[in-house]
Structure 1
């Protein structure tokens, strides 16, 4: 199940507040399927924060930005650095 981290436009900064924690709890209670979270997730700090809270972190805009600016290889290096 894809969950959005916040309202607004993609690529903007996301602040993970206490309201966000309640949202994830409601999502978990609504399904037994894995949760993917995106829309504002941009770096390892965000991925580390989300570890244990969601099953998949989706980093769309930042990945596209890297491919546009530095090529596909840079995106691969970026993704490997998230582990």
Structure 2
């Protein structure tokens, strides 16, 4: 059974611009920032912003949502 969402990661083309939007427009508090990733707290759920890696080809969309579950071995997915 799903207990809650752990994090949501979105891929962005311009990390600096996205970080500015999430901080200054949405008012989220940045937890940390690296060269190609920034994490924000959103009510106990992390919203992560990442850029494409050097070996990855850009694709539209492709968000990633991770869940906390009671028992991963008994999880149906």
Interval containing the TM-score (normalised by the shorter chain): under 0.3
TM-score by length of 1: 0.27
Larger Rg: 2
Higher RCO (CA < 8 A, seq sep 6+): 2
**Structure holding more helix per residue:** 1
**Structure holding more strand per residue:** 2
